[in-house]
Amino acid sequence: MKTKIIFCFLIAFAFKSYGQNDSILKYTYIKENIVASAIDGTWKAAEGKYQLTFKKDTTVLRLLSPKYYEVLRDKIIYHVGHLSGIWKNTEIKDVYFILIEHHGNPIILAFEEKDGDIVGSGEGGFFLFIAKGFYKEEDKLIVVDDYRTGPALEFVRIE
């Protein structure tokens, strides 16, 4: 009986520690998460005019509207910050992003300004994976904009 109580307590503690709640979003850094630990920096696509820069900033979580809390309730936020660059020949000017897991895959959710709300649009997102090289400059970032129709783009680290 004592073992069952301790087990239930540990399960509840784990959910409370890593899960979100109605009043705050939590950032959970896990260094073994390859994407979260290696994404910061500037990446350039091997083909085409694509470039992405990721910069960690946990204060972004305070800016997200509570309307996203329900969607993110069961998600662990592995990384958060600013995203800028060039995507499909369009400049991305410092949007906020969070890195979560969705159906077992790492996914970036990007929040753009909409109707004066600095994070009004949480509709942009893409799947990504990182292949770590022996040296940092050998890292590869694989981005899939739309897994149903779009091809994967390979990026190399330039900064």
Task: Report how far residue 24's alpha carbon sits from residue 21's, in angstroms, rounded to the nearest whole number.
Answer: 6
pTM confidence score:
0.77
- Per-residue pLDDT, 116: 55
pLDDT at 49: 85
Give the pLDDT confidence score for residue 9 in this predicted structure.
Answer: 38
Q: What is the mean pLDDT of the chain?
A: 78
Burial class (CB in 10 A: 0-12, 13-18, 19+), 155: buried
If you write DSSP's letter for every residue of 39-108 in order, what string do you get?
--EEEEESSSS-EEEEEE-GGGGGGS-GGGHHHHTT--B-EEEEEEEEETTEEEEEEEEEEEEETTEEEE
* pLDDT tens profile 72-109: 888 889 999 999 999 888 898 888 899 998 888 888 88
pLDDT at residue 155 in the model: 93
Sequence-distant (6+) residues with CB within 8 A of 31 are 37
Place of tokens 């990007």: 110
Low-confidence ranges of the chain (pLDDT < 70): 1-24, 113-124, 146-149
Model pLDDT, residue 114: 64
Residue 141 has a pLDDT of 92
Q: What is the pLDDT of residue 27?
A: 82
CA distance 74 to 70: 8
Domain range list for the chain: 2-157
Q: What is the pLDDT of residue 128?
A: 85
Residue with tokens 């005019």: 49
